[in-house]
């Protein structure tokens, strides 16, 4: 069940198009088309899961659960390490597939994404034999122990980092001994299907890892509400996260959500402005701004406001070059879809209509097809503007001015989101003081978006529930049982 595809770089490969259930490829009654956002042309069609196929995938995961429990932690670790090696050997191909399917520039984005999954697989493989409980002394003849048990999990992943965000979920789940049903985004299904073949090749038993393509309103909803699933993990928009939370609450599933953001980046008057401009540029324009932690709000202290804007405009103009994702000089690819493209343009129009000053973004675009949008910079914004309050999810940034430290912190926290925040200051005490006050799950001092798989990641407020990565990410995929032990007589 494969389709022969020629990549834009001329490489030919066989693309799986079925639903990967029980280590087999199966068909469904429905297919969906995936579009190359750089050309607006159809790449291929893949089979889309309906309710029946979700039932099959969940049954496969549940049937595999008990036998998988008997596999030792060392065996799981070795399989994960083999999977990492297989993925590393296919990095060039899978990165190219993601570049075609999502529009990511191949060299500056997609390749790093796949390498990140390899790194995280190896990191989590080291956790396999470290998922342990505790011994708690109670009295001279009583104690308790806790044990951690894996789960049957449903994982729903977004289009902006197709395999990378999948890895954030399946790596810790596999380390804990979970069985998995994973639904890809209908916009970017291809790389995860390719990866599924590697899972089988690495020796994972049937039913441990199942992949379904499908529409969120059908396959995603069915997976989130399925009584055979113990836990749902989701990354995507806050609005969809709210729906999944409501659906999963029907049978009180464990739940983790990584949702939207509107991350503030504060630049104080004692900051290294050149470094602040470089990091701020990277933090909002990388991946065409399609990043939950993008620093799409920049707050600059009044004394350095004009100078920073000058440096930031220069940096953005120099570093972010629109072009074919497969061209070596391209650093800014297209937006994922026509719908998202139109949505971003509507935000740009609102920014102009509401009085923000357009500093950059109205230059002509040379590309004759594709959903390309110029890096767009607005200045003189205030917190009442739509482009400041709502997540745009594109290469658009709003710059505002503040005077005092207290005002800057208040402006930064004036949002429903709390995924990330950034602080630029040479004053060590100030940087930490402000960092403590910011309502965000990740705070970057003098950098932006340089997370590590070893460090917990997640949001405050409407940006999500739970923490991925690091030890916290491992704990997401187990249920704790307390066992009381008595070795004396009851008096």
- What residue ranges define each of the domains in the chain, with the CATH number in brackets? 2-259+464-481 (3.40.605.10), 264-452 (3.40.309.10)
pTM: 0.96
CA distance 458 to 419: 6
Report the C-alpha dihedral over residues 135, 136, 137, 139, rounded to 10 degrees. -130
pLDDT for position 489: 87
Q: Are 351 and 386 in contact (CB under 8 A)?
A: yes
Q: Which two tokens stand for residue 452?
A: 């590590």
Neighbour tally for 288: CB within 10 Å: 31
Mean pLDDT, each 10-residue run in order, the chain (491 residues)? 96 98 98 98 98 98 98 98 98 98 97 98 98 96 96 98 98 98 98 98 98 97 97 97 93 95 98 98 98 98 98 98 96 98 98 98 91 98 98 98 98 98 98 98 97 97 97 96 92 71
Nearest to 190 by CA among 20, 360, 53, 313: 20
Task: Indicate which residue of 53, 98, 186, 258 is catalytic.
Answer: 258
> What residues have CB less than 8 Å from 99, skipping those under 6 apart?
8, 105, 106, 109, 110, 325, 326, 333
DSSP labels, 438-470: S--SEEEES-SS---TTS-B--EETTEES-BSH
* Residue whose tokens read 């609450």: 249
In degrees rounded to 5, what are phi and psi of residue 476?
-60, -25
Each residue of 267-285: b (16+ CB within 10 Å) or e? bbbebebeebbbbbbbbbb
Residue by residue, what is the 3-state secondary structure of 49-90? CCHHHHHHHHHHHHHHHHHHHCCCHHHHHHHHHHHHHHHHHC
Q: Please list, residue by residue across 37-48, b when 16 or more beta carbons sit within 10 angstroms of its beta carbon and e when fewer do.
A: bbbeeebbebbb
Cβ 126 vs Cβ 223: under 8 Å: no
**C-alpha triplet 423, 472, 436: angle, nearest 5°:** 25
Strand partners, 139: 142
Number of residues in the chain = 491
Q: Tell me which residue of 166, 187, 177, 158 sits closest to 48, measured CA to CA.
A: 187
Contact 237, 464 (CB under 8 A): no
Residues 6+ apart with CB under 8 A from 153: 169, 173, 178, 179, 180, 181, 229, 230, 231, 232, 233, 477
Q: How many Å apart are CA 175 and CA 126, to the nearest integer?
A: 8
Which residues make Cβ contacts (< 8 Å) with residue 337, sequence separation at least 6?
35, 37, 187, 371
pLDDT at position 366: 87
For residue 258, indicate whether it is catalytic: yes
């Amino acid at each position: 069940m494969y389709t022969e595809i020629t990549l834009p770089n001329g490489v030919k490969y066989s693309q799986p198009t079925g639903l990967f259930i029980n280590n087999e490829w199966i068909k469904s009654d429905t297919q969906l088309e995936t579009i190359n956002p750089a050309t607006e042309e159809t790449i291929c069609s893949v089979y889309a899961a309906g309710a029946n196929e979700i039932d099959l995938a969940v049954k496969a995961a549940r049937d595999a659960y008990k036998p998988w429990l008997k596999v030792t932690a060392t065996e799981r670790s070795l399989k994960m390490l083999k999977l990492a090696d297989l993925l590393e050997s296919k990095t060039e191909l899978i990165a190219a597939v993601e570049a075609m399917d999502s529009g990511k520039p191949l060299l500056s984005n997609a390749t790093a994404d796949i390498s990140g999954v390899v790194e995280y697989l190896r990191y989590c493989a080291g956790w396999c034999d470290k998922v342990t409980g505790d011994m708690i002394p109670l009295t001279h003849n009583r104690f308790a122990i806790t044990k951690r048990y894996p789960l049957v999990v449903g994982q729903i992943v977004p289009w902006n980092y197709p395999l990378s965000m999948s890895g954030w979920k399946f790596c810790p789940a596999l380390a804990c001994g979970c069985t998995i049903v994973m639904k890809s985004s209908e916009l970017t299904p291809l790389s995860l299907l390719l990866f599924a073949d590697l899972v089988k090749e690495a020796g994972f038993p049937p039913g441990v890892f199942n992949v379904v393509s499908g529409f969120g309103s059908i396959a995603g909803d069915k997976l989130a509400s399925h009584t055979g699933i113990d836990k749902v993990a989701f990354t995507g928009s806050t609005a969809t996260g709210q729906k999944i939370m409501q659906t999963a609450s029907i049978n009180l599933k464990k739940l983790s959500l990584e949702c939207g953001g509107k991350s503030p980046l504060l630049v104080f008057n004692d900051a290294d402005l050149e470094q602040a401009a470089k990091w701020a540029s990277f933090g909002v324009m990388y991946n065409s701004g399609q990043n939950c932690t993008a620093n799409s709000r920049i707050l600059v202290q009044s004394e350095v406001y004009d100078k920073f804007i000058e440096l930031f405009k220069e940096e953005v103009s120099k570093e972010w070059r629109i072009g074919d994702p497969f061209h070596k000089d391209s650093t800014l690819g297209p937006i994922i879809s026509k719908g998202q493209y139109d949505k971003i343009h509507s935000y740009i129009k609102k920014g102009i209509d509401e009085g923000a000053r357009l500093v950059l973004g109205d230059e002509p675009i040379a590309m004759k097809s594709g959903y390309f949008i110029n890096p767009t910079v607005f200045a003189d914004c205030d917190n009442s503007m739509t482009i400041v309050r709502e997540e745009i999810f594109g290469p658009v940034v709003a710059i505002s001015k503040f005077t005092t430290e207290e005002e800057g912190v208040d402006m930064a926290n004036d949002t429903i989101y709390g995924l990330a925040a950034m602080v630029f200051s040479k004053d060590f005490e100030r940087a930490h003081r402000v960092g403590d006050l910011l309502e965000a799950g990740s705070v970057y001092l003098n950098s932006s978006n340089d997370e590590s798989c070893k460090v917990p990641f997640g949001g405050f407020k409407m940006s999500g529930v739970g923490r991925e990565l690091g030890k916290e990410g491992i704990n997401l995929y187990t249920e704790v049982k307390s066992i009381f032990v008595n070795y004396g007589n009851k008096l």
